[in-house]
A = this chain, B = another copy of it.
Amino acid sequence: MCTAATYLTKDFYMGRTLDYEFSYGEEIAVMPRNYPIHFHYAGVLKQHYAMIGMAHMADGYPLYYDAANEKGLGMAGLNFVGNAAYAEETKEKENVAQYEFIPWILSRCATVEEAKAALGKMNLTGISFSDQLPSAQLHWIIADKNGCIVVESMKDGFHVYDNPAGVLTNNPPFPQQMFLLNQYRNLSPKQPENQFSKELPLDMYSRGMGALGLPGDLSSTSRFARVAFTKLNSQSGDTEEESVSQFFHILGSVDQQRGCCEVAEGKYEITIYTSCCNTSKGIYYYTTYENPQITAVSMHAEDLEGMEVVSYPMLQKTEIRYQN
């Protein structure tokens, strides 16, 4: 499935893994300020914040999986199959189709606070982009350097949750994922005290025993706990290289290796790409399953006053650097 995380050093970073058994063809897409966004209900928006992110390009229209705008607000959609349920069209709020939710928010909101206000006025519907691209069952993480929220549209309503952990995976709903972290209260990067019994000379036979009990499998609940532990205990310098490097190590903790998650006979879910967007600077970094070198696309290297989406295909080939 997928995992998202945020990370704050001098700048604010946000990224995600996309885990699946095949790719729809993703590209890093920069949408400049004057690209006319055709919203399903609201018509055309001619001027808006510029944004950069990973998207499936559908006839020139970027269906974003995750993106950030020039103001530093980021947003990602993650699978939420079985729980996502969208509303019917209404006249009382501004209708937004789920496939255009990311550009709708990023085009007009500079901060999480503004996003919260916008979420209060909108109504998320399940209209699909096209017959070929049916509506996806997703939930969303929205974050800036000051805060993080999760948006879940379910049968029992439209929920907006504060997310103090700054991570998201998939099922179950966010409050249950957070509840499950209670089970790991006593895990620590430090070596554990002997609390079992003072009468036994229990040995610390290895470093790293303080987190014994942290789950190591690829289910969404285990990835949530593992990435939260890794992110919340992360230590790094605050230069761009150190920050980006540490961020990829954080999401590396939930990397899906080919063979470990069989979804059908001979078909395996893998981490197709991992992204890290410096939302402060508008640089989108990524790696792919076969290409671990960090590759980057910078929003500000494009003409942000332009009217066309500029997109770059992911570089997926393993590029080995020989020293001799």
Q: Is the CB of A318 within 8 A of B298?
A: no
**How many monomers of this protein are in the complex?**
4
The A165-183 residues at the B interface (CB cut-off 8 A) are 165, 170-172, 176, 178-179, 181-183
A216 within 8 A of B: yes
- In angstroms, how far is the closest chain B Cβ from the Cβ of A289? 7
A39 within 8 A of B: no
Chain A facing B: main interface SS: loop
A242–B317 alpha-carbon span in the complex (Å) = 10
- Take A193-B186, A219-B207 as given contacts and tell me if A295 and B324 are in contact as well, using a CB distance cutoff of 8 Å: no
Q: Is the CB of B209 within 8 A of A185?
A: yes
- Take A188-B195, A233-B259, A292-B293 as given contacts and tell me if A216 and B205 are in contact as well, using a CB distance cutoff of 8 Å: no
- In angstroms, how far is the closest chain B Cβ from the Cβ of A199? 6
A91 within 8 A of B: no
- Take A165-B200, A186-B193, A296-B320 as given contacts and tell me if A233 and B260 are in contact as well, using a CB distance cutoff of 8 Å: yes
Provide 8 A-B residue pairs closer than 8 Å at the C-beta atoms, listed in order of the A residue. Answer: A181-B200, A182-B209, A233-B259, A235-B259, A241-B290, A245-B318, A246-B258, A292-B293
Q: Nearest 3 pairs between A and B by C-beta?
A: A216-B216, A208-B218, A186-B192
